[in-house]
Structure 1
Amino acid sequence: MNETRTTCPYCGVGCGVLLRQGPEGVSVRGDPDHPANFGRLCSKGSALAETLTSEGRLLQPRVDGADVSWDVALSRVADGFRTTLERHGPGSVAFYLSGQLLTEDYYVANKLMKGFMGSANIDTNSRLCMASTVAGHRRAFGSDTVPGTYEDLDEADLVVLVGSNLAWCHPVLFQRLVAAKAARGTKVVVVDPRRTATCDAADLHLALRGGSDTSLFNGLLAYLHANGHVDHTYVGAHVSGLDAAVAMAQRDLSTTGLSAEDLAGFHALWARSERVVTVFSQGVNQSTGGTDKVNAILNCHLATGRIGRPGCGPLSVTGQPNAMGGREVGGLANMLAAHLDLEDPVHRSAVGRFWDAPAVADRPGLKAIDMFRAVRSGQIKALWIACTNPVASMPEADLVAEAIRTCDLSVVSDMYATTDTARCAQIVLPALGWAEKDGTVTNSDRTISRQRGVVAAPGSARADWDIFAEVGRRMGWREAFSYASPAEVFREHAALSGIAGRLGRDFDISDLSGLDDRGYAALAPTRWPVSGARQGGRFFGAGGFFTPDGRGRMIPVATPEETASQPRYPFRLNTGRIRDQWHTMTRSALTPRLSRHLAEPFLELHPADAVTLGLRAADIAQVQSPLGRALLRVLVTDRVAPGAPFAPMHWTAEFASAGRVDALIPGAVDPVSGQPDLKAARVAISPFPAVWYGFAVSRSKPAPDAAYWARSRIAGGWAVEMAGDVALVDWAGRAAAMFGLTTSPQTVTDRVSGQVRLAFFEDGLLHAALFVSPGPVAVERAHVAGLLGQIAPDVLSGRSGAGRLDPGPVVCSCLGVGRNTIVAAAEAGMDVEACTGAGSNCGSCKPEIAALIAGLAVRAAAE
């Protein structure tokens, strides 16, 4: 088949992918032999081949906006960091990295900063993702160890999902759980203030008060203790701190907002289930009390011995493909490589000798929030950002942009020069992307997989490890950074882990340190540890914790006091992800089908709040915090609680005029982990005073001039939604400017309704169309978009015409099946999946399909 095995670059599930190069380009399918997915891919993974385009790529280095050679750019970077170190010392330099880097990239960058520049000011966007889990693991286990494996989902009697919309954020794992539920009756509890697609599989949904997770699990611990469910044999042999943790749990009287009936049901279900897996993600981590939430969960598993056995244990699922690999090489500011401790002199000495490093950093560096504040204040004078977009993803995002713009030396390595972050930097370096570079990643259950390049590098783009190594050589450390391939880097990384293993640490893959280039090229998915008798598997079923006394630690934790609501900012804004987009959309927005489900930044608002605020569905809401403002399309739904709206975090200045929700988020952090709270910003909401709304399609990339706009790709071109608060007259001129045209449009104006419709043709084929209305535009968007490049005499009707079904908004992105198609099949009594294919691939649309069918049944009963 001429297929290459590689790994998906999206979430931490770490799905195996098969790439095939053929006459028509690259195609993608799931790898049936990979243990993470067994051939399944989600909508994003299925569309990976469509993202392999050179469109918009940065092809050579740029310095101060001008294209230059690699020699010029790297000399500027190396000289800048060297001079900064000489003049201001190690505290004046910093790297900000990404869980999307490969382990080899991460390793070289960490070695350069911590071992040779002598600073621990190297942090990563995993600080926004998994830092609270790392801190909780280290407090309880003495190491950042994920105890279990994905196989535990297949064998559990009960799976509790906490702060995890698994159906949308980790769809392949969700389908694995659904299969287990069907096969063996696995019970599922979803703990989430918001009713998400994941709740479709739940036997019990606990819609607790936002931020009260610690109280929920403290209540569970107190119940387990009071009713004889503590495993005293396991605790006596392997765990300390039970009494103190239980005493604190008994004193935690904070309310979860749940009914006594729901709490009793949860407690009883947990207690009687022999095998329990607790899956947790960003709803736990992204909190000022995130570490305590993690330890509250771990306490329940330690107290009952439900850990490290088949079907038992806590399972942290990561948001990025290599968040785990970054942790393994010490990518966080308070860690050393190979899970060694930065503040332990024995560990520092061992790493220093291994690297032959001049001065290993001896104190933790600045974590992400403090790092960018230090850049803004001038404490950090040289900053290098790789493979991430903090101007869109960090809290205090506008201040982050200001910090980068005013830094003495700012460097960005990325595939694109058009990201919000790259636009702020002095030096932008072209980096390789997925399917172009080689290396390894580690997924959420400790499985190391290879990413393999099959596509030629565009322009002069280089691998990140190679860029960092070349700068190291130019700074004078030639021997230490003389790598010729990622295989060399991996061998060194594996050899260092052997030293960590001999020092009693968990991460040890030293059996892989002898891989030659051929062995590295052929490396199959491998779960660590990989050392002597320690091969993969689970941790802690028979104790063996990595604390000084070898015992796991239960940590007394209490629910923090709720931040008082401010009269000016009465709403608590929850943020998160949607099904078909990824991070800040630099990759996922390249493919039209991933923008067809939800194409605009939006605000989920409870009906009662909508009435109070005077907002209706499809209106534009102004969302304001003390830090900034966003404009978001209103989606009225009881999925959220009153006072607790939700907005996705993906949109950037590339795709929306004011969709960067992280510009609203303050930099409040967990005091232990340094992870920011992205789920509880206080905001005000008001109607945006729109006097017109617009919808447009165009074969060329439109440049809208409106207070509100959101741009997305469609087949053959672009779509854009707009709204303005100033009345306009010359629509033909504005439309021509937006589309970059000089031709005159066909125009229909209805002075009674206030609607204006324009269409531009080139050589008799539709190039662009604009629909304007005093209210939200009502046209069949999929139909209009499908007319681009066609002879389209009736385009301005905005309707598909008699006898032709408008498929409606896309529900199944994998196969492009619209809502109206699904409804028509259901109304005809057909099997929707068999008839339309909807839901037959990744399955993440099944909850939405089920809701549509249920809605039809309700309406039919009412009639």
Structure 2
Amino acid sequence: MFDGPEPAPGAPRVVVGREVKTTCPYCGVGCGVVATVTADDQGDDRVTVRGDADHPANRGRLCSKGSALAETLVRDADGGGRLLHPEIDGRRVGWDDALAEVATRFADTIAQHGPDSVAFYVSGQLLTEDYYVANKLMKGFIGSANIDTNSRLCMASSVAGHKRGFGADAVPGSYADFETADLVVLVGSNLAWCHPVLNQRLLAAKAARGTRIIVVDPRRTASVDGADSHLALAAGTDSVLFNGLLVHLHAMGRTDAVFVGRHTNGEEDALAAARADAPDIAAVARRCKLSEAEVADFYAEVATTERLVTVYSQGVNQSSQGTDTVNSILNVHFLTGRIGQPGMGPFSVTGQPNAMGGREVGGLANQLAAHMGFTVEDIDRVRRFWNAPRVAAKPGLKAVDLFRAIERGSVKAVWIMATNPAVSMPDAGRVRRALAKCPTVVMSDCIADTDTGRLAHIRLPAAGWSEKDGTVTNSDRTISRQRAFRAAEGEARPDWWIIAQVARRMGFADGFGFDNAAAVFREHAALSGFENDGASGRAFDIGALAEVSDAEFDTLAPFPWPWRAGGQPQARLFTENHYFTDDGRGRFVPVTTKALPRTLPDGALLLNTGRLRDQWHTMTRTGLSARLSAHAPEPCLDLHPADAASRGIVDGGLVRVTSVAGEALARVRVTDAQREGTAFLPMHWTDAFTGSCVIGRLIDDEAVDPLSGQPDLKRMPATVLPYVPAWTAFLLSRTPVKPTHNGYWARRAVAGGHLIELAGHGPLPDFAPDFATEFAPDGCAAINFSDAARGNQRTAWLRGDRLEACLFVSADGRLPGRDWLAGLLDRDGLDDGDRAALLAGRAPGAKADDGRIVCSCFSVGVNRLIAAIRDQSLTSVEAVGAALKAGTNCGSCVPELKEVLRHAVQREVA
């Protein structure tokens, strides 16, 4: 018998048929979602989702990931699913035992080695209330600032740049500026894939009022499709481009002298640094590897267009000079006074749903709660408000330094919440070694099998999306409610509850008597307004909600901060040209572009990484959806044709990628969208989905922004060589199977189960006995076909008439299509014709293969697209949408649809 607690306070009562408004758990757009729980024919709960038409961020739209949220709700622990019960050293225990063990281990470590010997590593996937309680425990009661967040990997440079320029971590504008600007410049932002709903709002503005769009990015991404021009500059030269723009605008008389004189400081020093770095258009073109005409046209358009919004994201932030690049962008807006007004301003779009909410409560190691820092006054203010015994007096360890400290042994206990640093951190091998030797690793997560979780001594089941209750803050400072609409699986509990229970057991009960998420929110709101004098105080203030009732919290509508006591929510900052600096003036910052942080050996390429359209972080959610997994079914390295040709690499082949940190195997896509001399590899794959393509194992942690602590993830030298396998194979299985051979494999979800692609060197392996251990003991019968002369091997495992798994191995690379076989896996039983076709490797009849998915929202594959284009004489994306619905939801597949149309038309003409 296990001593599980009563349901946590505030646990939802599931009402079948009731619509619940909540917020999407993916990117920083913060889209509103309406979730409905219905009952199916067997009486089981079934969830459907749609966009919330009333939410100001998305107005009813959802991207492919948001549309598939109902497909990613994990309901049990099978196949690496839900973590349902607390565990200590692999043993299931009750909550009381688990909480006591965490409290004892942390208290003992602190007693022996001091408060800085323990740490928390948290996540933008937490709700603000979770973040707040974790920060309060670590910084207020344990007395260390060793709490950092995976937002350090994506937004820290933006935070540091904003604080230098504005005096506060604050995005000036709102999403409405996308629709009122005349020119939007996307810098290091693939908005079409990473923030698709915002991209749709921008494209709608372009169609309605002619908004011009310029993309600044080394890669030709999907965002370029809707743009008027693309500057494919050399990696790491964004600050050169914007320094040159600053010089050009000043020379052309575009300085807003009144604004600069009254409301800023530092113009001359910034201009002097910019002139030394980028004196003229010719110098900028040479360093950025652009033509002078491209640079001149870009500068002219910025100079002559008043309403300018500069949107930037990870391409700027994830750099060892990210903070300086942010300030080079801010300098341009300061010089021209284009800030604080509709359709004007710099705009940082956030990677995670609650990266900003975490920063509001002190989730970063170099800040205290409510946008306070480590000044004597702020430390005292927080101490008095919390009545805390030992508020941290200095910044703690940032993410990279934190895991180095764990490796050294100076941090001896770490609690990791809602994130997977064994994959996502740079030098993931070092992170894994550090965690493996750490005396105490605690993990709170909703997923049972993660790369990090396998290294944890104590695993605590946390509530997931659909089960937890609280708030999140999106990229334009809008705070939204994330509401629970399902009861938590197993013994899962909200993160804030877990942390508060540990705090109580550590002797801090008086500071952690929260009854529900609303109580945490009230305290958070009260602290934000505490001794905060509006204009001369702190930017973040939601003191108006310090006394919100539980019922009011439950019905709270989305609103932007600040919302000061006695005032109204403020959608735009700096309208009065007052900044949160000591003198109220905005600060120009001198910027000098640095050289590449790492030496590029002969023959090496610069490896870049980032997101894909239909996947999220380490795929613990999106990897469960068959349709989301079908667009990019394997980890795929993008290479320019010249780089591929010089290395003997063919499109669709396999390559070995090697850096000083490690190596990986990946499929390759040869494309002129990639700049010559560079390569791009997505960030999402983990040990659960591939044999050897964890991006964190390829990128070292040596290059870090000195101000923000953000690691450089975009410019890692790597060699890329062909990997020519002696055999290829695939396995279709109802349950996930992890191959153990030393070659290549990648797994993805398909309808009814999983598809694993395999390849390797050496003699043709006999996989059948190995995989038989997965299936045969469970009452399955195996049927085999072998053609030794051709090097083919086929095995199928059946339970009665139902296909459980099938394996196809080939020495000549000829393997049957996967779609129709996956369809057999999804059936309840096979007939004689299906059995014969199964081992023959040929689909019965004229079964069409839909091909790789292009439109995930409506599951439209490339082969079906081509057939419809040919048979129905379709000539436009609109016609394709009318015929197949492809491209009519989130629109992120439209660039690919255009590409398919273009190639189909070319074939018809030929």
Partner of 1:70: 95
- The alignment status of 1:32 with 2:53, answered yes or no, reads yes
- The alignment status of 1:102 with 2:127, answered yes or no, reads yes
**Whole-angstrom distance in 2 between the partners of 1:856 and 1:293:** 41
C-alpha deviation, 1:157, in angstroms: 0.3
C-alpha deviation, 1:417, in angstroms: 2.8
C-alpha deviation, 1:751, in angstroms: 4.8
Partner of 2:634: 600
**Whole-angstrom distance in 2 between the partners of 1:859 and 1:270:** 40
The DSSP-based 3-state class of the residue aligned with 2:793 is strand
**Whole-angstrom distance in 1 between the partners of 2:273 and 2:22:** 47
Partner of 2:402: 371
Partner of 2:582: 548
Partner of 2:112: 87
Q: Compared with structure 1, are the counterparts of its residues 623 and 232 closer, same or farther at alpha carbon in structure 2 (3 Å cutoff)?
A: same
C-alpha deviation, 1:696, in angstroms: 1.9
- The alignment status of 1:223 with 2:260, answered yes or no, reads no
Partner of 2:605: 571
Q: Compared with structure 1, are the counterparts of its residues 639 and 752 closer, same or farther at alpha carbon in structure 2 (3 Å cutoff)?
A: farther
**Whole-angstrom distance in 1 between the partners of 2:500 and 2:506:** 10
C-alpha deviation, 1:541, in angstroms: 3.1
C-alpha deviation, 1:754, in angstroms: 3.0
The DSSP-based 3-state class of the residue aligned with 1:610 is helix
2:161 to 108, 117, 136: 136
Partner of 1:19: 35
**Whole-angstrom distance in 2 between the partners of 1:182 and 1:824:** 30
**Whole-angstrom distance in 2 between the partners of 1:492 and 1:533:** 19
Partner of 1:441: 472
Partner of 1:716: 752
C-alpha deviation, 1:58, in angstroms: 1.2
Partner of 1:826: 869
C-alpha deviation, 1:729, in angstroms: 4.9
**Whole-angstrom distance in 2 between the partners of 1:264 and 1:753:** 61
Tell me if structure 2 keeps the 8 A contact 1:214–1:559. yes
**Whole-angstrom distance in 1 between the partners of 2:801 and 2:513:** 60
C-alpha deviation, 1:53, in angstroms: 2.5
**Matching of residues 491-506 of structure 1 within 5 Å:** 491-499=522-530, 501-502=532-533, 504-506=537-539
- The alignment status of 1:765 with 2:802, answered yes or no, reads yes
Partner of 2:766: 730
**Whole-angstrom distance in 2 between the partners of 1:534 and 1:709:** 55
Once the two structures are overlaid, the 10-residue window that deviates more, 89-98 or 801-810, is 801-810
**Whole-angstrom distance in 2 between the partners of 1:387 and 1:103:** 13
Partner of 1:484: 515
- The alignment status of 1:676 with 2:711, answered yes or no, reads yes
Partner of 1:519: 552
- The alignment status of 1:582 with 2:616, answered yes or no, reads yes
TM-score (norm 2): 0.93
Tell me if structure 2 keeps the 8 A contact 1:339–1:500. no
Partner of 1:461: 492
Partner of 1:349: 380
C-alpha deviation, 1:454, in angstroms: 1.1
C-alpha deviation, 1:801, in angstroms: 5.5
Tell me if structure 1 keeps the 8 A contact 2:157–2:322. yes
1:387 to 411, 418, 425: 418
Partner of 1:7: 23
- The alignment status of 1:754 with 2:770, answered yes or no, reads no
Tell me if structure 2 keeps the 8 A contact 1:340–1:500. no
Deviation by residue 1:589-631 (Cα, 9 ceiling, x = unmatched): 1221111111111111122222222221222211111221111
Tell me if structure 1 keeps the 8 A contact 2:809–2:815. no
The DSSP-based 3-state class of the residue aligned with 1:641 is coil
The DSSP-based 3-state class of the residue aligned with 1:530 is coil
1:530 to 547, 563, 581: 563
Tell me if structure 1 keeps the 8 A contact 2:601–2:717. no
**Whole-angstrom distance in 1 between the partners of 2:599 and 2:789:** 45
C-alpha deviation, 1:171, in angstroms: 0.5
Deviation by residue 1:337-360 (Cα, 9 ceiling, x = unmatched): 111112x11111111100001111
Q: Compared with structure 1, are the counterparts of its residues 568 and 226 closer, same or farther at alpha carbon in structure 2 (3 Å cutoff)?
A: closer
Q: Compared with structure 1, are the counterparts of its residues 569 and 462 closer, same or farther at alpha carbon in structure 2 (3 Å cutoff)?
A: farther
The DSSP-based 3-state class of the residue aligned with 1:562 is coil
- The alignment status of 1:323 with 2:355, answered yes or no, reads yes
**Whole-angstrom distance in 1 between the partners of 2:813 and 2:557:** 52
The DSSP-based 3-state class of the residue aligned with 2:678 is coil
2:436 to 402, 405, 414: 405
1:267 to 267, 276, 299: 299
**Whole-angstrom distance in 1 between the partners of 2:130 and 2:660:** 37
C-alpha deviation, 1:750, in angstroms: 4.4
Counterpart amino acid of 1:763? G
**Whole-angstrom distance in 1 between the partners of 2:584 and 2:387:** 31
Tell me if structure 2 keeps the 8 A contact 1:700–1:739. no
Tell me if structure 2 keeps the 8 A contact 1:43–1:594. yes
Once the two structures are overlaid, the 10-residue window that deviates more, 615-624 or 318-327, is 615-624
C-alpha deviation, 1:232, in angstroms: 0.9
Q: Compared with structure 1, are the counterparts of its residues 604 and 251 closer, same or farther at alpha carbon in structure 2 (3 Å cutoff)?
A: same
C-alpha deviation, 1:710, in angstroms: 0.8
Deviation by residue 1:522-578 (Cα, 9 ceiling, x = unmatched): 000011111133522211233110000100001010110124644377111000010
**Whole-angstrom distance in 1 between the partners of 2:342 and 2:775:** 59
The DSSP-based 3-state class of the residue aligned with 2:601 is coil
Counterpart amino acid of 1:153? F
Deviation by residue 1:665-693 (Cα, 9 ceiling, x = unmatched): 11121001000001111112222241111
Q: Compared with structure 1, are the counterparts of its residues 613 and 740 closer, same or farther at alpha carbon in structure 2 (3 Å cutoff)?
A: farther
Deviation by residue 1:86-126 (Cα, 9 ceiling, x = unmatched): 11112111100000100000000001001111101100000
C-alpha deviation, 1:771, in angstroms: 2.1
Counterpart amino acid of 1:232? A
Tell me if structure 2 keeps the 8 A contact 1:148–1:537. yes
- The alignment status of 1:295 with 2:331, answered yes or no, reads no
The DSSP-based 3-state class of the residue aligned with 2:358 is helix
The DSSP-based 3-state class of the residue aligned with 1:101 is coil
Partner of 2:138: 113
**Whole-angstrom distance in 1 between the partners of 2:812 and 2:453:** 36
**Whole-angstrom distance in 2 between the partners of 1:204 and 1:797:** 51
The DSSP-based 3-state class of the residue aligned with 2:745 is strand
C-alpha deviation, 1:798, in angstroms: 4.2
**Whole-angstrom distance in 2 between the partners of 1:161 and 1:500:** 38
Q: Compared with structure 1, are the counterparts of its residues 744 and 730 closer, same or farther at alpha carbon in structure 2 (3 Å cutoff)?
A: farther
Tell me if structure 2 keeps the 8 A contact 1:501–1:507. no
Deviation by residue 1:679-715 (Cα, 9 ceiling, x = unmatched): 1111122222411111221223223233211111111
Counterpart amino acid of 2:869? A
C-alpha deviation, 1:829, in angstroms: 1.5
Unpaired runs of at least 5, structure 1: none
Deviation by residue 1:796-822 (Cα, 9 ceiling, x = unmatched): 454446644321111111111111111
Once the two structures are overlaid, the 10-residue window that deviates more, 68-77 or 802-811, is 802-811
- The alignment status of 1:471 with 2:499, answered yes or no, reads no
**Matching of residues 167-206 of structure 1 within 5 Å:** 167-206=192-231
**Whole-angstrom distance in 2 between the partners of 1:705 and 1:619:** 21
Partner of 1:699: 734
Partner of 2:14: none
The DSSP-based 3-state class of the residue aligned with 2:370 is helix
Counterpart amino acid of 2:61? R
C-alpha deviation, 1:398, in angstroms: 1.0
Partner of 2:895: 847
Q: Compared with structure 1, are the counterparts of its residues 42 and 299 closer, same or farther at alpha carbon in structure 2 (3 Å cutoff)?
A: same
The DSSP-based 3-state class of the residue aligned with 2:326 is helix
Counterpart amino acid of 1:466? W
C-alpha deviation, 1:195, in angstroms: 0.9
TM-score (norm 1): 0.98
Partner of 1:808: 851
**Whole-angstrom distance in 2 between the partners of 1:266 and 1:800:** 54
**Whole-angstrom distance in 1 between the partners of 2:419 and 2:603:** 30
